[in-house]
A and B are shown apart, each in its own frame.
Chain A
Amino acid sequence: MTTQSNQLASFDQRDKEWYIDKAIQIIVFMSGISAILFVVGIFAFVTMEGFGFLLKDFSISEFLLSPWWEPTDEDEPTYGILALVAGTASVTGLAMLVAVPFSLGAAIYIGEFASGKKREYLKILIELLAAIPSVVWGFIGLTIMNPLIIAVFDVPVGLNVLNAGIILGLMAAPIMTSIAEDALKAVPDRYREAAEALGATRWQVIYKTVLPAAKNGLLGAVLLGVGRGFGETMAVLMATGHAINIPGSVFDPVRALTATIAAELGETAVGSTHYEALFTIGIFLFLITFIINLTADLIVRGIRKQ
């Protein structure tokens, strides 16, 4: 710094505005790093609580490969999460089959076809759909979908992969639609204009030009939906049937990782092996979500480079 700028700084009055400015600067900075602090803090807490299990009774092959989750058995407790992982994966997979066509279709309609008032109303309605609490979705699964699935498919029980998959798909669709629509909107209009100038029909413009240009954002939308599926708890607890089971068809009841934690943690003695094992599931879920997000990031970056 030169002497001149130092002089200028001394002229700079530290009045009220200056302090407000500084204070806001600090607040914004704190908010900025708070997200990191919270994530690190939560990960540290979950790891600490689950760590005792990792040191004592943990066997990685049993944990990942055994379908028996029997943490309270008196003689030989087993801590296998294979069936729970299969449950979460099957429900999330089916949910994506339901949600991807729905949300992409909705996003294309809102982004490319609807205009004016119609577009605004649709956007508000979709955001309203996202505001329905997950326990309400679970309740719909329990009281409406369950008898309906039994009646339509003549299966023994309506709380199963199909039920939870549809519920979860409907839950994830609004967010996916919003993100996908943003991605479509981000495609510059000159792309469309250029395609139209070449004589492309409206469908050709969307299919050949807009969708390929927006594919990063669309992939982001889908992966966000997958993350939602893995993390959702209440609705899957109520709609899956909560049965430890490796599903053979969509009509089999299953149990999700998150639902297991939710159902068992409340009545487990703090510090017991069962308690620590539940936190180890928490660590596992944390890692899975991290990997999904990282892959999404890498794929999106990879596409961008080409």
Chain B
Amino acid sequence: MQLAQPLKIATFAIALCVSSTVSAADRFVIQNKGSDTLVNVAQAWAEHYRDVKPAVAIAVSGGGSGTGIAAMINGTVDIANASRAMKKRELANAKKRGQDPQKLTVGYDALAVFLHKNNPINELSIDQLAQVFGRGGKATKWADLDVKVPGCGSDKIVVVSRQNNSGTYVYFKKAVLKPAAKNGTIAKGKYRQGTLDMHGSKDVVDLVEKTPCAIGYSGMAYANEHVKMVCITTKTGEQCITPSVATASDRSYPIARPLLMYTNGQPQGEIKNYLDWILSEKGQCILKKKGYAPIKNISCS
């Protein structure tokens, strides 16, 4: 019964949303909630879709991937936005409550690795990143990566990460640390202790900009001219790939995360129409304009 109170609050909040949107007219309302990464794009989609189909209204709210997925599990939203896949536990929870979450990839977000502009490093491999970010990783000083960073007298690598419920944090862990855990170098695929956990993508870039010893990761859209984006190789010796919309769309950039929309069961009716429109060239161009990569390479005017 511990769930009763939070559930009440959640349903009350949803009821508020519903009452405020439905009152306008008896339109078909799609409830859409979740990832803060996707919320800007989702809002832009909702606004443009009003011109396509005035009879359908889409109520968009943020709150984070976890919040959207929780709402999906509770059956209070039609579409949950997520910048990470559902966890095993969440899937099991959803099944228990009779939901059948279906995943749809609506775009990609390339995660760039940022360095201070004085840092001489231009490319890093996924394994080197794991050694820097992972628990038990061998790289704790810049000398371990065979460089001398000007302005970083102590030579210690300052590892900048995100708070532990951010979708970015979860994806980077899965894409970079988990593979290294398989060959036994990184304990359980976890982050090392003592990473600076910033609250927001922009904070990561700001801190790296001011700290010569720092390395951090964030969505590519947050890059600026005062920091350096690292070219990433999957294996040492291979050709490195720079993060960009094009390399994320054709899946050649190794740490581009899919942006997802979850529905309960296969989408039908108006929800299916909306999702089809999102995947159409028109919808994908809106996504591209917001700085994310479309699911396939398209040229938008």
- The interface residues of chain B lying within 8 Å CB-to-CB of A157 are 158, 196, 211, 213-214
Query: Which residues of B sit under 8 angstroms from A48, Cβ to Cβ?
Result: 5
Stretch at the interface among A13-21, A35-43, A71-79, A202-210: A71-79
- Contacting A at CB under 8 A, from B115-153, are 152-153
B109 within 8 A of A: no
B156 within 8 A of A: yes
Q: Which of A95-103, A171-179, A214-222, A242-250 contacts B (4 or more CB under 8 A)?
A: A242-250
List residues of chain B with CB within 8 A of the CB of A73.
190
A298 and B206 alpha carbons, distance in the complex (Å): 47
Complexed CA–CA distance, A159 and B159 (Å): 12
Query: Which residues of A235-268 are within 8 A (CB) of B?
Result: 237, 241-245, 252-253, 255, 263-264, 266-268
Interface segment, one of A122-130, A147-155, A181-189: A147-155
B67 within 8 Å of A (CB atoms): yes
Q: Do A270 and B70 have beta carbons less than 8 Å apart?
A: yes
Q: How far is A276 from B163 in the complex, measured between Cα atoms in Å?
A: 17
Provide the B176-208 mask, 1 if CB < 8 A to any CB of A, else 0. 000000000000101001111111000000110
- Contacting pair A269 B2 (CB below 8 A): no
**Judging by beta carbons under 8 Å apart, are B165 and A72 in contact?**
yes
A253 & B3 in contact (Cβ 8 Å cutoff) = no
B2-A156 in contact (CB<8A): no
Interface of B is mostly: mixed
- Decide if A158 is an interface residue (CB 8 Å cutoff): yes
Cβ contact within 8 Å between A271 and B207: no
CB distance from B242 to the nearest CB of A (A): 27
Say whether B7 faces chain A, with CB atoms less than 8 Å apart.
yes
Q: How far is the CA of A101 from the CA of B169 in the complex (A)?
A: 42
**A75 touching B213, Cβ below 8 Å:** no
Q: Residue of A at shortest CB range from B194?
A: A245
B9 and A243 form a contact (CB under 8 A) = no
Contact A253 B196 (CB under 8 A): yes
Q: Could you tell me the distance between the alpha carbons of A280 and B182 in the complex, rounded to whole angstroms?
A: 34
The residue among B152, B156, B210 with the most chain A CB atoms within 10 A of its own CB is B210
Q: Which of A71, A244, A270 has the most CB of B within 10 A?
A: A270
* Distance in angstroms between the alpha carbons of A47 and B292 in the assembled complex: 42
- Provide the B153-177 mask, 1 if CB < 8 A to any CB of A, else 0: 1101110000111100110000000
B165 A159 Cβ-Cβ under 8 A? no
Number of interface residues of A (CB under 8 A): 48
Structural contact, A271 and B67, CB atoms closer than 8 A: no
A58 in contact (CB, < 8 A) = no
Q: Which of A52, A76, A242, A274 contacts B196 (CB 8 A)?
A: A242
Q: Are A244 and B2 in contact (CB under 8 A)?
A: no
Q: Could you tell me if B165 and A274 are in contact, using CB atoms closer than 8 angstroms?
A: yes
B68 CB → nearest A CB, Å: 9
Contacts of B6 in A (CB 8 A): 49, 270-271, 275
- Residue B98 lies at the interface, judged by CB distance under 8 Å to chain A: no
Cα–Cα, bound, A155→B166 (Å)? 28
Q: Which label, helix, strand, loop or mixed, suits the secondary structure of the A interface? A: loop
Nearest B residue (CB) for A255: B197
The smallest C-beta distance from B32 to any residue of chain A, in angstroms, reads 17
Distance in Å from the Cβ of A183 to the closest Cβ of chain B?
39
A67 near B: Cβ within 8 Å?
Answer: yes
Q: Is the CB of B164 within 8 A of A270?
A: no
Interface residues of B in 50-74 (CB under 8 A from A): 63-67, 69-70
Q: Does A68 contact B (CB under 8 A)?
A: yes
Q: Given A237-B199, A242-B197, A274-B165, does the pair A269, B190 have CB atoms closer than 8 Å?
A: no
CB of A267 within 8 A of CB of B63, answer: yes
A269–B197 CB distance below 8 A: no
Pair B196/A241 contact, Cβ less than 8 Å: yes
Check A297 for interface membership: any CB of B closer than 8 A: no
Instruction: Specify which of B9, B64, B169, B193 is in contact with A68 (CB 8 Å cutoff).
Output: B193
A55 smallest CB distance to B (angstroms): 7
Q: Assess the A150–B197 pair: CB atoms within 8 A.
A: no
B10 interface residue (CB < 8 Å to A): yes
Closest to A146 in B: B210
A68-B193, A267-B36 known; A156-B5 Cβ under 8 A? no
The answer to whether B198 and A242 touch across the interface, beta carbons within 8 angstroms, is yes
Q: Which residues of B contact A286 (CB under 8 A)?
A: none
Chain A residues contacting B3 (CB-CB under 8 Å) are 52, 271
Given contacts A72-B164, A264-B165, contact A244 B158 (CB under 8 A): no
- Evaluate contact between B70 and A269: CB separation under 8 angstroms: yes
Write the nearest CB–CB distance from A104 to chain B, whole angstroms: 34
Is A70 on the interface with B (CB-CB < 8 A)? yes
| A146 partner residues in chain B, CB cutoff 8 A | 210-211
Out of B36, B199, B210, name the residue touching A263 (CB < 8 Å).
B199
CB-CB < 8 A to B156: which residues of A? 156
Choose one: B2, B87, B170, B213; the contact of A52 (CB below 8 Å).
B2
Closest to A150 in B: B211
Knowing A74-B89, A244-B194, A270-B10 are in contact, say whether A156-B158 is a contact too (CB < 8 A): yes
Indicate whether B88 reaches chain A with its CB closer than 8 angstroms: yes
CB-contacts of A52-83 with B (<8 A): 52, 55, 67-76, 83
In the complex, 16 of the A-B residue pairs with CB atoms within 8 angstroms, ordered by the A residue number, are A70-B190, A71-B165, A74-B88, A83-B193, A154-B153, A157-B158, A157-B196, A157-B214, A159-B207, A243-B195, A267-B64, A267-B65, A267-B165, A269-B69, A271-B70, A276-B2
Chain B residues proximal to chain A, CB less than 8 Å: 2-3, 5-7, 9-10, 36, 63-67, 69-70, 87-89, 152-154, 156-158, 163-166, 169-170, 188, 190, 193-199, 206-207, 210-214
